[in-house]
């Protein structure tokens, strides 16, 4: 993939996640911070389909943005063909692993497997 395409994705994921994370944080403040984190409240959040879709989007957007940011920092720290390939593929693996792990929580809780 061209670097400009990757960086367009980087900027796009950043902008999209700003709005969604703001909603996610505001949801914590609607019922009081401590109450919003109670087991019942969190479970209710996970059972709400629109909220779950938003969580999944945040997970994907931030994982892509975060791991690409890490890739950029690591590429600038050290150079070399093997190292750069390891960083690029490592970032993709990290991204997929985090999305997979987070999605597991979201899907299992949403489907009542708790």
Partner 1 sequence: MTEDEHREGIKGMANPGRYGIERIAYLLMRLTGLGLLGYFIAHVYETSNILRGRMGWDDFLAMTQTTEGHIFLVLVIGMCVFHTGNGIRIMLGHGGVGVGQPARPDYPYEPASQNYRHKIGIYSSIVLAAVAMMYGMAVMFGE
Partner 2 sequence: MAQVSSIADEQASTPLSSPKSILLRISKFNPKLDESSKFMEFTVPYQKWTTVLEAILDVKKHFDHSVAVRYSCRQATCGSCGMMINGKPKLACFTKISELDSDVVTVEPMNNFPVIRDLTVGFEKLFAKHQKIQPYLIRDDSELESDEREFLQSPEEVEQYIQFANCIKCGLCNSACPTMATDSSFVGPQALAQAYRYVADSRDKGKDTRLNIIDESHGIWRCHFAGSCSQVCPKGVDPAMGIQFLRGYLLGFRS
State the residues that interact with partner 2 by CB under 8 A: 2-4, 6-8, 11, 72, 75-79, 84
Contact by Cβ (8 Å): 14, 65: yes
Given candidates 93, 96, 101, 111, which one binds partner 1 under the rule CB under 8 A?
A: 101
Contact by Cβ (8 Å): 8, 65: no
- Report what 79 binds from partner 1, partner 2, none; CB cut-off 5-8 Å by kind: partner 2
User: Cα separation of 51 and 24, whole Å?
Assistant: 9
Interface with partner 1 in residues 78-97 (CB under 8 A):
none
84-94 burial, b at 16+ Cβ within 10 Å, e below that, comes to eeebbeebeee
Structure-block tokens of residue 3: 């670097």
- Report what 62 binds from partner 2, partner 1, none; CB cut-off 5-8 Å by kind: partner 1
Interaction mask 34-73, partner 1, x per CB under 8 A: x--x-x--xx--x------------x--xx--xx-xx--x
């Amino acid at each position: 993939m061209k670097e400009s395409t990757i960086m367009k994705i980087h900027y796009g994921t950043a902008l999209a996640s700003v709005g969604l994370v703001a909603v996610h944080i505001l949801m914590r403040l609607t019922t009081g911070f401590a109450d919003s984190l109670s087991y019942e409240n969190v479970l209710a959040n996970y059972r709400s389909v629109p909220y779950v879709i938003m969580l999944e989007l945040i997970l994907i957007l931030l994982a892509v943005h975060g791991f690409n940011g890490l890739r950029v920092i690591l590429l600038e720290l050290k150079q070399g063909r093997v190292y750069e390939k390891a960083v690029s593929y490592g970032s993709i693996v990290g991204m997929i692993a985090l999305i997979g792990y987070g999605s597991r929580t979201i899907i299992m809780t949403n489907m009542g497997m708790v």
